[in-house]
Amino acid sequence: MNPLLQILGATGVGKSRVACALARQFNAEIISADSVQVYQGFDIGTDKITARGRREIPHHLIDIIHDGSQFNASKFLDLAFRAAEDIRNRGKIPLVCGGTALYLRVMMQGIFAEKKNEATRGQLEEKAASSGWQVLWQELLALDPVYAQKIGPHDHVRLVRALEIQHHCGMPPSAAFKQSRSPFAAYHFIRIGLELERKELYRRIDRRAELMLENGLLDEVRELLKRYPPTCPAFNALGYKEIVAHLRGETDRATALESMQRHSRQFAKRQLSWFRQEKDIHWFAPENMAGITAFISQCLAK
């Protein structure tokens, strides 16, 4: 089995610093599992590693989208596997670092690659517009109560996808997802979670938001709004949606900062809730490099 490291945790916990240290220690290259760092120019608000840092330690899946197009878990899985295979063929270890929990999960579980049909999607969205999303959710509830309860009536993207799967495959989404296969089947995952006491994590999150503004996030977003269409998904990401609202005159600077901090703390809480459901993650304080290194060495020696 080929080893693959995952360094994960809540936003602001210090994943990149730990990942870079481990990459040096274990001759690894880093694959980013961040849904916003794929967009070129979205640097300050994602705390993206510098160009100098990337020259020192190769990073993959950063700055790969230049036109504001949609990126998703399926594309991530394909590109991450290609990167991991290239890294392995160079005699190095793939090290995946990021907080986009879905990306980390599909590496292990795969993703159901159903064929999407624009006509079907259009019909579903028209029905939602005329009858309401609750009607679509009730349809899914009758077809697949487990999955319907899992996503709820307000997750419109997954709701439409679930009904598309039912329409095209003739089976409930829960059954279809069980057919998923991951290209990483030949890899052994070593999963390291980074955790801090909640009060300290929130303090770091708040301070990081302040530093982003001090380091020029406003100017960065001004330039990105000139460069990318308003439909670019990254503008809805943490740190960017609040600044976009401020630049549109909807909030003042202080309110934008407070919103960034509050939304980031809420996001961190959701991330931790997700990760706590996965029992194969081994948790360490980010400062405990000796413990992390010893654990990985032990796993690699098996």
Q: Please indicate, yes or no, whether residues 103 and 147 belong to a single structural domain of this protein.
A: no
Residue/partner pairs of 247-255 with CB below 8 Å, 24 or more apart? 247/218, 247/221, 247/222, 253/213, 253/218
Query: Which is nearest to 193 in space by CA: 282, 271, 106, 104?
Result: 282
Q: Please indicate, yes or no, whether residues 9 and 68 belong to a single structural domain of this protein.
A: yes
In this structure, are residues 125 and 206 in contact, taking their beta carbons and an 8 Å threshold?
A: no
- Tell me what pLDDT residue 80 has: 98
Question: Going by DSSP bridges, is the β-strand pair 93-97/28-32 parallel, antiparallel, or unpaired?
Answer: parallel
Q: What are phi and psi of 11, to 5 degrees?
A: -60, 140
- Tell me what pLDDT residue 174 has: 80
Q: Please indicate, yes or no, whether residues 166 and 107 belong to a single structural domain of this protein.
A: no
- Residue 108 and residue 189: Cα distance in Å, rounded? 8
Q: Please indicate, yes or no, whether residues 216 and 275 belong to a single structural domain of this protein.
A: yes
- Tell me what pLDDT residue 116 has: 63
Instruction: Write down the pTM of the prediction.
Output: 0.83
CATH number of the domain enclosing 157: 1.10.20.140
- Residue 142 and residue 163: Cα distance in Å, rounded? 11
Q: Please indicate, yes or no, whether residues 136 and 9 belong to a single structural domain of this protein.
A: no
Strand partners, 282: 192
pLDDT in tens, 201-258: 999 999 999 999 999 999 999 999 999 999 999 999 999 999 999 999 999 999 999 9
In this structure, are residues 193 and 285 in contact, taking their beta carbons and an 8 Å threshold?
A: no
Average pLDDT in the 180-187 region?
Answer: 89
- Among residues 152, 177, 202, the one where a domain terminates is 177
Q: Please indicate, yes or no, whether residues 151 and 71 belong to a single structural domain of this protein.
A: no
pLDDT in tens, 140-164: 999 889 888 888 888 888 888 888 8
Q: Output the CA–CA distances (angstroms, integers) from residue 127 to 104, 144, 163, in the order listed.
A: 33, 19, 12
Neighbours of 279 (CB within 10 A): 5
Look up the domain containing 123 and give its range. 118-177
- Among residues 177, 195, 228, the one where a domain terminates is 177
Query: Could you tell me what percent of the chain has a pLDDT over 70?
Result: 97
What is the count of structural domains for the chain? 2
- Among residues 142, 158, 177, the one where a domain terminates is 177
Q: Please indicate, yes or no, whether residues 154 and 265 belong to a single structural domain of this protein.
A: no
- Residue 73 and residue 106: Cα distance in Å, rounded? 7
Q: Please indicate, yes or no, whether residues 168 and 188 belong to a single structural domain of this protein.
A: no
Q: Please indicate, yes or no, whether residues 62 and 145 belong to a single structural domain of this protein.
A: no
Q: Please indicate, yes or no, whether residues 57 and 198 belong to a single structural domain of this protein.
A: yes
CATH number of the domain enclosing 233: 3.40.50.300
Q: pLDDT tier at 184 (50, 70, 90 boundaries)?
A: very high
pLDDT in tens, 21-45: 999 999 999 999 999 999 999 999 9
